[in-house]
Structure 1
Amino acid sequence: MPRVAIIGGGPAGYEAALVAAQLNAEVTLVESTGAGGACVLTDCVPSKTFIATSNAVTEIDEAGDLGVESPRPTVNAKAVNARVQHLASQQSSDIAGKLTTAGVNLVHGKASLFGAEGHRHLVEVKPHEGDAYSFSADVVLLATGATPRVLPSTPIDGERIITCRELYELDELPEHLIVVGSGVTGAEFASAYLATGSRVTLISSRDRVMPHEDRDAAEAIESVFRDRGMDIRSHARANGVRRTDSGVEVELSDGTLINGSHALITVGSVPNSEGLGLESVGVALNERGHVPVDKVSRTNVPGIYAAGDLTGVHALASVAAMQGRIAVWHALGEAVRPIKLRNVASNVFSDPELATVGVTQGDVDNGKVDCRVVKVPLSSNPRAKMLNRSRGFVKLFVWRASGIVAGGVVVASRAGELIHPVAIAVEQRLTVEQYARTLTIYPSVSGSFAEAARQLMEY
């Protein structure tokens, strides 16, 4: 029976453990914070739970145009944060239950590598309770994730200067939240806290929010943010953040000072590659501290695999989980198909949301791909107008030579649910004619994709 050691219990680690157990391996999974890792306990699950509250507030607040008259709702921060923490804990417990039922040895603690015995790798485990011990494993999967990056000039105090992991400890909503960093995480939290009643200033070092996303989509969402009262400082860079008697002070590179009650630092993440004993066994790191892997999640050392944010491939739970599964399938001799990263759908949980899959507008504009593209505004979609959620659009890309669907973009409420049919079309290489001839519900927001497909059909 092969023995598999997994270090890290986030989506990459726990999904890999379940696959390994299914293949009758002896599996030990070591996780320091709890089943599900930071993704479930402090990052993805908590943030999207909080955003669900903000979405509800927005829908109620904007219901006046639907003829619903009510005072603006208020948000009980303690109740919301208690729900966030409860759901995160509950999800972690559910995952732990699945692992235990599958026969996985789940250890709460830390683990590292320290050598090899022939073709087996030596793993040292330091449980939170009990004595340290070691064992050998045929296969090791590194899945320790990443940690929010902080500015060297800005110490995190967990009270006024915080990362996304400290937000849910606050007793009250920030009166004025200054969000440093306008990538996906910054945009999501800026949107959510604006909706729940906080004054929000968003510091963006680039010309727009979410600079790595589709330009049309990012600009459309930024327009919504500004119309709702968000103060967005473009081409601005924070030199540092300081505590004041009443809150925080953010100093920009041009000398401008911005005062607020709290500062949220969202400037990326750093991989958790230290303390794993990688140097002692020869696992390579790149200049940013990530563990490079090939298309089946192998590191440069035979028998040692890596998956998830630690690898720097795509900071998405779905990708991490699939990397973990692929690693175990490959290691235990199963047939595998590498991830096609271009076919991975992603979503920004702002309001409205931004979902994408496949080729990008930038690739088209730069001549990297030869695609035709159609954009259909939701202002022409009857269902979107009925819901009073018509700010946004759908965009469809089609390979010019073959007519196969190449990608799509959605800016809409619940865009993450709308992108899946496009992802199926991209993955299964459906032609735009096949897509267009598939009936959609009337009225439906997804009908705009069918309209885009009809416009792209060549008769």
Structure 2
Amino acid sequence: MVAMSSSFVNTQSVAVLGGGPGGYEAALAAAQLGAEVTLVERAGVGGAAVITDVVPSKSLIATADAAVAIAEASDLGVQLFAKDAAGKPLKPQVAINLAAVNKRLLSLARQQSDDMRLQLVEAGVRIISGHGRLEDRNAIVVSTGPGGTDFDRVEADTLVVAVGASPRELPTAEPDGDRILTWTQLYDMQALPEHLVVVGSGVTGAEFASAYMNLGAKVTLVSSRDRVLPGEDQDAAAVLEKVFKRGGMTVLSKSRAESVARTADGVVVTLADGRTVSGSHCLMAVGSIPNTAGIGLEEAGIQLADSGHIEVNRVARTSVPNIYAAGDCTTFVPLASVASMQGRTAVFHALGDIVIPLGRRRITANVFTAPEIATVGLQEQDLDAEGISGYVYKLPLAANPRAKMLGIKDGFIKIIGHRGSGTVLGGVIVAPRASELIYPIAIAVERRLTVDQVSRVFAVYPSLSGSITDATRAMHLVTRDADVVS
């Protein structure tokens, strides 16, 4: 690794509590700026995001995508067959060895954690393994010995709290790690669940429901809202729900789960209206809670929201001037990419480097379902809510020649532009690998490009990204004439 050089010698010290994406980036950036850095982490560098959340879950989803590609290969003229003893063709089935899948993805997660740890060590970061808590505004006390018998005290000029969050648990549906599971416990399963009931239709619930459906499990998705992904673009959610139902998933909308109980050979989920849903396993995906209790935050004077999240400003600073916070434990957007940027921003601000305050409208997000849903900037529902004169153009992906070649039937490109000026305000992409396709729109939002400027960029023909060019070209009239009615 090539170390970054700083234009000034930094004599400050930084202590980071929590080694997830936010804490990791804070520690690395501080070391690169020449500070003396200590990182305290109890589970391993990368935190829950790397070890039990983002990395393993997205690895599982990649396996599910591979299973779908094999199953749908016949649509492209690729046929798999085997012969029986009489030489007659058999129709093979895609088999999922879930124990092998889980072993692989947990190994990948640990490898990623080890790689991140090595980067920190090479950068000069001191790493302490143990449970940490703030002793005051300039010190972290770490319990390092068995049973919490040994302690280490770390003093620093700047503290960064990045302790993350944990799955929310309900008293009427307590996880047992066997049949009733949180998303961190799924990777202990040795075989594909016969019938997985997913409670919660937000991002986490939708992602795991999509993955296990595509791996071959029977899935029922219980949603307390009127649709899947209530926080996402309505058109995008509608596409995904259609795909879910076409794949055999049962989607129960406006169905709040009251309790989940073990049975002799599975689980039974009781809904608020008295209905019950029986299954072999239940995944509880009902949100998360910040890991902020009992670590000395309030005693240090740090302001917390009623939910327990740490109140931070746009440079990740808390109510205590020398203490910053990053990641899912804060009141900002709970994304790994945001946590990383918060961590770097916090350190840059604390150590006097150039800082660009974080803005929610610059954030790119993705839902790793099949198809994926990627968003950036203002969304369609924001236009009326904020009184913005905007124009929305949606182009079905099925019209794209590359999509036809790949057999892609579902999805679209949606661009939100400012009526008159043509500035790109936001976008939505529903497609395979939407997480990759959204990047040019994110650049347009960040750099305040107009739809005409984007339309003049050459796209490869044929390519899925060509639909972005097509959509912005179609919006040209609106940039010319503010009176055009969409």
Residue 402 of structure 1 deviates from its aligned partner by 1.5
Asked whether the equivalents of residues 143 and 307 of structure 1 are also in contact (C-alpha less than 8 Å), the reply is yes
Is the partner of 2:445 in helix, strand or coil? helix
Is the partner of 1:124 in helix, strand or coil? strand
Is the partner of 1:40 in helix, strand or coil? helix
Residue 377 of structure 1 deviates from its aligned partner by 0.3
Equivalences for residues 46-125 of structure 1 within 5 A: 46-70=56-80, 71-116=92-137, 121-125=138-142
Structure 2 Cα separation of the partners of residues 88 and 161 of structure 1? 23
Residue 275 of structure 1 deviates from its aligned partner by 2.0
Corresponding residue of 2:414 = 395
1:207 to 1:315, Cα distance in 2 relative to 1, 3 A: same
Aligned residue type for 2:287: G
Aligned residues: CA RMSD: 1.1
Asked whether the equivalents of residues 15 and 154 of structure 2 are also in contact (C-alpha less than 8 Å), the reply is no
Structure 1 Cα separation of the partners of residues 294 and 192 of structure 2? 36
Q: Does 1:32 align with 2:42?
A: yes
The correspondence for 2:156, drawn from 128, 137, 145, is 137
Asked whether the equivalents of residues 196 and 217 of structure 2 are also in contact (C-alpha less than 8 Å), the reply is yes
Asked whether the equivalents of residues 145 and 151 of structure 2 are also in contact (C-alpha less than 8 Å), the reply is no
Q: Does 1:438 align with 2:420?
A: no
Query: What's the CA shift string for 1:252-311, capped at 9, x where partnerless?
Result: 000001100000000010001012111221111110000000111111112011111010
Structure 2 Cα separation of the partners of residues 184 and 312 of structure 1? 18
Asked whether the equivalents of residues 239 and 252 of structure 1 are also in contact (C-alpha less than 8 Å), the reply is yes
Residue 128 of structure 1 deviates from its aligned partner by 4.6
Asked whether the equivalents of residues 10 and 37 of structure 1 are also in contact (C-alpha less than 8 Å), the reply is yes
Residue 430 of structure 1 deviates from its aligned partner by 1.0
Corresponding residue of 2:357 = 338
The correspondence for 1:383, drawn from 402, 406, 419, is 402
Residue 365 of structure 1 deviates from its aligned partner by 4.3
Is the partner of 2:425 in helix, strand or coil? strand
Aligned residue type for 2:60: F
Asked whether the equivalents of residues 51 and 110 of structure 2 are also in contact (C-alpha less than 8 Å), the reply is yes
Aligned residue type for 1:42: T
Asked whether the equivalents of residues 108 and 128 of structure 1 are also in contact (C-alpha less than 8 Å), the reply is no
The correspondence for 1:422, drawn from 415, 428, 441, is 441
Query: What's the CA shift string for 1:131-174, capped at 9, x where partnerless?
Result: 20213210000000000101221111000000110000111111
Q: Which runs of 5+ in 2 are unaligned?
A: 1-10, 81-91, 481-486
Structure 2 Cα separation of the partners of residues 362 and 377 of structure 1? 19
Corresponding residue of 1:126 = 143
Query: What's the CA shift string for 1:76-103, capped at 9, x where partnerless?
Result: 0011001011000000000000010001
Asked whether the equivalents of residues 305 and 331 of structure 2 are also in contact (C-alpha less than 8 Å), the reply is no
Equivalences for residues 213-232 of structure 1 within 5 A: 213-232=232-251
Corresponding residue of 1:249 = 268
Q: Which runs of 5+ in 1 are unaligned?
A: none
Corresponding residue of 1:44 = 54
Corresponding residue of 2:332 = 313
Q: Aligned residues: percent identity? A: 53
Residue 369 of structure 1 deviates from its aligned partner by 2.2
Asked whether the equivalents of residues 354 and 411 of structure 1 are also in contact (C-alpha less than 8 Å), the reply is yes
The correspondence for 1:11, drawn from 17, 21, 25, is 21
Corresponding residue of 2:5 = none
Asked whether the equivalents of residues 396 and 412 of structure 2 are also in contact (C-alpha less than 8 Å), the reply is yes
Asked whether the equivalents of residues 395 and 409 of structure 1 are also in contact (C-alpha less than 8 Å), the reply is yes
Structure 2 Cα separation of the partners of residues 167 and 369 of structure 1? 43
Aligned residue type for 1:419: I
Structure 2 Cα separation of the partners of residues 72 and 355 of structure 1? 32
Residue 367 of structure 1 deviates from its aligned partner by 5.3
Residue 457 of structure 1 deviates from its aligned partner by 0.6
Is the partner of 2:328 in helix, strand or coil? helix
Is the partner of 2:340 in helix, strand or coil? helix
Query: What's the CA shift string for 1:354-375, capped at 9, x where partnerless?
Result: 0000111111244532211110
Asked whether the equivalents of residues 160 and 243 of structure 1 are also in contact (C-alpha less than 8 Å), the reply is yes
Corresponding residue of 1:268 = 287
Is the partner of 1:48 in helix, strand or coil? helix
Asked whether the equivalents of residues 290 and 312 of structure 1 are also in contact (C-alpha less than 8 Å), the reply is yes
Corresponding residue of 2:204 = 185
Structure 1 Cα separation of the partners of residues 154 and 386 of structure 2? 53
Is the partner of 1:241 in helix, strand or coil? strand
Structure 2 Cα separation of the partners of residues 346 and 128 of structure 1? 40
Structure 2 Cα separation of the partners of residues 212 and 298 of structure 1? 27
Structure 1 Cα separation of the partners of residues 63 and 376 of structure 2? 26
Query: What's the CA shift string for 1:307-339, capped at 9, x where partnerless?
Result: 110103111111000000010011111120111
1:150 to 1:368, Cα distance in 2 relative to 1, 3 A: farther
The correspondence for 2:427, drawn from 383, 408, 411, is 408
Asked whether the equivalents of residues 381 and 390 of structure 1 are also in contact (C-alpha less than 8 Å), the reply is no
Aligned residue type for 1:69: Q
Q: Which runs of 4+ in 1 moved over 6 A?
A: none
Asked whether the equivalents of residues 163 and 266 of structure 1 are also in contact (C-alpha less than 8 Å), the reply is yes
Residue 72 of structure 1 deviates from its aligned partner by 3.1
Aligned residue type for 1:86: S
Is the partner of 2:329 in helix, strand or coil? helix
Asked whether the equivalents of residues 37 and 125 of structure 2 are also in contact (C-alpha less than 8 Å), the reply is yes
Structure 2 Cα separation of the partners of residues 151 and 238 of structure 1? 10
Bigger Cα displacement from structure 2, 128-137 vs 376-385: 128-137
Q: Does 1:291 align with 2:310?
A: yes
Asked whether the equivalents of residues 182 and 209 of structure 1 are also in contact (C-alpha less than 8 Å), the reply is yes
Residue 384 of structure 1 deviates from its aligned partner by 0.6
Is the partner of 1:309 in helix, strand or coil? coil
State the aligned residue count: 455
Aligned residue type for 1:392: G
Asked whether the equivalents of residues 60 and 72 of structure 1 are also in contact (C-alpha less than 8 Å), the reply is no
